[in-house]
A = this chain, B = another copy of it.
Amino acid sequence: MGIPTVERSRAVEDYVKAIHAIADDGGDRSVGTTALASHLGVTPASASGMVRKLATLGLASSSPYRGVTLTDDGEGLALSILRRHRLLETFLAQRLGIPWDRVHAEAEVLEHVLSVELEAAIANNLGNPDRDPHGAPIPRSDLTVEEQQTFPLDQLAEGDRVRFVRIPDERPEMLRWLAERGIAPGVEIELKRREPFGGPLTAAINGREHQLGVELAAAIRVEYL
């Protein structure tokens, strides 16, 4: 679940934010201790300790010597902080006329303190925007982490390269069809062509091209690389 029931301490939230930011940046899912440490201005030892704490809180999972990854809870927390941050920036600038160069610093503080009600009230006051004035997306609070990060295959544009994530498991016959062609979670997919008017999609998977019907394509959830 993306709803953070977890304790909220400034440091914890900052670590989660940092992990999210670095992971997103490199496209890499796993974040190194040293990178994390230098991003936060602490020693690797400190980061290492904090990562252990994040793990006990259920926010991150770390195979030692192998880097950190946010769990779904952690990812949810990161997205919720990001949401608060962008909502705050937008609100401070648009409603209170705070200059844009100051807005970030203010949001940095308030994002850790904003209550759920206040967040909702601010979002509402702004008309529940999807994006901040810079065009950056504001994560939604009513979607699970997966829903925020994955998309139905049929919503892609030609040329998009993505990774297969999953199929809603109520569709075993689709799973079987895919399995027969070696299409399993993790494989990369490149959308080659989409026929107009709901026609089939052509996608390159494992070096071979496949035709996928719209219904199937709509069920397949993928994430961008």
Q: Which residue numbers of A lie inside 8 Å of B, CB to CB?
A: 92, 95-98, 102, 106, 109-110, 113, 115, 117-118, 121-122, 124-125
The majority secondary structure among interface residues of chain A is: helix
Please name the residue on chain B nearest to A98 by beta carbon.
B121
Please name the residue on chain B nearest to A125 by beta carbon.
B96
- Kindly state the separation between the CA atoms of A113 and B114 in the bound complex, as whole angstroms: 11
* Contact status A109-B98, CB under 8 Å: no
* Copies of this chain per assembly: 2
Beyond A98-B118, A110-B110, 5 additional contacts (C-beta under 8 Å) are A92-B121, A96-B118, A96-B122, A110-B113, A113-B113
| A–B Cβ pairs within 8 angstroms, 18 of them | A92-B118, A92-B121, A95-B95, A95-B125, A96-B118, A96-B121, A96-B125, A97-B121, A97-B125, A98-B117, A98-B118, A98-B121, A102-B117, A106-B115, A106-B117, A109-B113, A110-B113, A113-B113
* Contact status A118-B106, CB under 8 Å: yes
A165 to chain B, nearest CB (A): 38
- Kindly state the separation between the CA atoms of A98 and B96 in the bound complex, as whole angstroms: 17
Question: Interface centre among A96, A109, A115, by most B CB within 10 Å?
Answer: A96
